[in-house]
Amino acid sequence: MDAALTKSPLTAFDKFKIADFKGFALLKLNKYKEAQEYYEQALASGLYTPQEAAEKERTLFRLAASSQQYAKAIEFGKQASETPSFTADDTAVMAQLYYLQKDCKDSAIWGDKAMAAERKAGEAPHENLYQFKLQCASDAGDTPTLKTNLVELIRLTNKVQYWNNLLRIERQDEREDHNLLMIYRIMYNTNSMVAGSDYIEMAQLLGDAALPAEAAAVLDKANQGGLIKDEQKERTGRLLASFKTRADADKKGLPQLDAEGQKNPAGELDVKLGEVYYGAGDYQNAVTAINRGIQKGKIKHLDEAYVYLGLSQTQLKNTADAKKAFDQLKTVPDISPRVLKLWSLYSEKLGTPLVGGVQG
């Protein structure tokens, strides 16, 4: 082609073909910047057929993107996107290019297009498309959009880090101890609680709810994970000793509490019995007691009854029954909407392995 350029006279078509062939050869030699230059020359001639022009625009789109010429890549991408050869992956690259240009609005538009194309093809959306939206929402301080995208990322990946981020946001907005403990239970059961202070607070809330065995188990896990700081160890040790003493007393009183629960026409004692059984690791008796209590009715916190029933069934590997229990939370009239949404998401992902961990 270099030799051909020395021949004269050269027609416009000759120059077009030389530029096109040189672009092709340089692309095969992995000389992308030079290939882009000659393809641009060939495209500017206007001598490609419409189909050929569309193919070259897509090629130039990819070449410009790979060489970090974001603005130029976007222009080629917009032209190439009108053709059938433009793929879902190409659309996802457009979302990334706009994101790198700090154009969150257009990044979201192209991200939605890419996800729609991936779903249409029967594929799961790419995780990074949600991450672009997540970062944009975080930068803008848009908490509702941030939470929406974290929920979608959990649905897509079930990664612990996304559970951690979502639950920390929800916890910050919660002021009622009953609901706060509900959120901590999800953090605990998704392995997304990484701060020793969170374990301590959860244990104290459990202790206040007369569930010392479960409180002791929470602190034991924090100790085993090395999450308790030196300045927290003395206080944590005292709490743990107190909870274990109370838990031993509860365990000794289980037969009497069981007998009282069976005689009582209201279900409150049975549910409390089930919660104590759960803390003691006796999940089958927990299921039996809580189901008995639910059938009787007159339960102060029906949401807790269904949560502990679901958690007990989960421990017994009865995933379908656990989901049924969590689904019943929708029937509780005074349940917190935030708590209901979080437990519904937890139930939705039951049976799907958690992925990864989070940094403390």
What is the tens place of the pLDDT at every residue in 184-200?
A: 999 999 999 989 999 99
pLDDT band at 360 (very low <50, low <70, confident <90, very high): very low
Asked if the model's pLDDT at residue 26 lies above 90, the reply is: yes
Largest CA distance in the chain: 108
**If you average pLDDT over residues 164-175, what whole number do you get?**
92
What pLDDT does 155 receive?
95
Q: Are 107 and 132 in contact (CB under 8 A)?
A: yes
What pLDDT does 160 receive?
96
Token reading at 30 = 């992995």
At residue 193, the 3 state secondary structure works out as coil
Q: Which amino acid is at 98?
A: Y
**If you average pLDDT over residues 62-74, what whole number do you get?**
93
What is the tens place of the pLDDT at every residue in 76-95?
A: 999 999 888 888 999 999 99
d(CA 97, CA 86): 15
What pLDDT does 294 receive?
96
d(CA 354, CA 360): 17
**If you average pLDDT over residues 340-355, what whole number do you get?**
96
Asked if the model's pLDDT at residue 359 lies above 60, the reply is: no
**If you average pLDDT over residues 149-160, what whole number do you get?**
95
What pLDDT does 358 receive?
60
What is the tens place of the pLDDT at every residue in 279-313?
A: 999 999 999 999 999 999 989 999 999 999 999 99
What pLDDT does 320 receive?
96
What pLDDT does 200 receive?
95
Q: Provide the mean pLDDT of the chain.
A: 93
Q: Are 228 and 236 in contact (CB under 8 A)?
A: yes
